[in-house]
């Protein structure tokens, strides 16, 4: 795994091999990550990465959020309740020297609680597939005011996810067993 583009292009991240099923670590491949960023950067949505506040739910290794940081995001908040994931995530943040631009929260993404700061304009969601955790995490993010109006959601899942009411489906692409869904939150809170 490596950073694909931006300021830290080519930086190798901590290796997890094929992942760790027991820890629910299934890293997004470089190819899929590159495709995701091509979609959001070239999809006619402006540049949702530049200077963005990014929320990376079910962060795992943090590769998606760190890629956003490399491409110009202002700050990334990583949420994962797994011990193995947070250890890898911290190692990757250190490799990128991004401690000042990141937050790591040991929290269940399906029970975020209230957000005490501004909303996030770009949200990555990569839950364990087929368990309905993405839908629960989105409901929690909406309830806790974690999303900025018009936020772009990048949701990886094995099947088409059930988007919350009022969310606009922007694009959907299949890469192997991963279905990437791009959606936009309502522009008015």
pLDDT of residue 18: 46
Element (H, E) at 141: helix 133-143
Per-residue pLDDT tens for 4-43?
A: 888 878 778 777 644 445 545 556 777 888 889 989 988 8
Residue 33 covered by a domain = yes
Q: Name the more confident of 22 and 177.
A: 177
What's the average model confidence in pLDDT over 161-177? 94
Measure the CA–CA gap between 90 and 93, rounded to whole angstroms.
5
What's the average model confidence in pLDDT over 105-127? 95
Residue 70 covered by a domain = yes
Measure the CA–CA gap between 106 and 125, rounded to whole angstroms.
16
What's the average model confidence in pLDDT over 175-179? 90
Q: Name the more confident of 43 and 151.
A: 151
The residues with which 155 forms a beta bridge, in sequence order, are 125, 181
In the chain, the DSSP E strands lie at 53-57, 75-79, 102-105, 120-125, 147-157, 168-175, 178-184
Of 75, 79, 63, which is closest to residue 26 (Cα–Cα)?
63
pTM of the model: 0.90
Residue 114 covered by a domain = yes
CATH number at residue 41: 3.40.50.150
Q: Report how many domains make up the chain.
A: 1
Phi, psi of 19 (to 5 degrees): 110, -175
SS3 88: helix
Range of the domain at 101: 21-184
Whole-angstrom CA distances from 146 to 39, 130, 136 are 23, 24, 14
- H-state helical runs in 19-132: 30-42, 63-70, 83-96
């Amino acid at each position: 795994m490596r950073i694909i583009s931006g300021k830290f292009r080519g930086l190798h991240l901590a290796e997890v091999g094929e992942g760790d099923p027991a820890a629910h670590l299934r890293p997004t491949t470089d190819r899929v990550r590159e495709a995701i960023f091509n979609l959001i950067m070239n999809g006619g949505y402006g540049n949702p990465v530049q200077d963005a506040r990014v929320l990376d739910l079910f962060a795992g290794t943090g590769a998606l959020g760190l890629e956003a940081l490399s491409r110009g995001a202002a700050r990334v908040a990583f949420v994962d309740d797994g011990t193995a994931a947070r250890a890898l995530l911290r190692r990757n943040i250190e490799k990128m020297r991004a401690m000042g631009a990141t937050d790591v929260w040991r929290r269940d993404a399906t029970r975020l609680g209230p957000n005490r700061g501004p909303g996030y304009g770009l949200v990555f969601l990569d839950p364990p597939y087929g368990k309905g955790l993405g839908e629960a995490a989105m409901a929690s993010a909406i309830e806790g005011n974690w999303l900025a109006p018009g936020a772009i959601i990048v949701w990886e899942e094995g099947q088409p996810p059930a988007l919350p009411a009022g969310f606009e489906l922007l694009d959907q692409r299949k890469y192997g067993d991963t279905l990437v869904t791009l959606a936009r939150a309502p522009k008015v809170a």
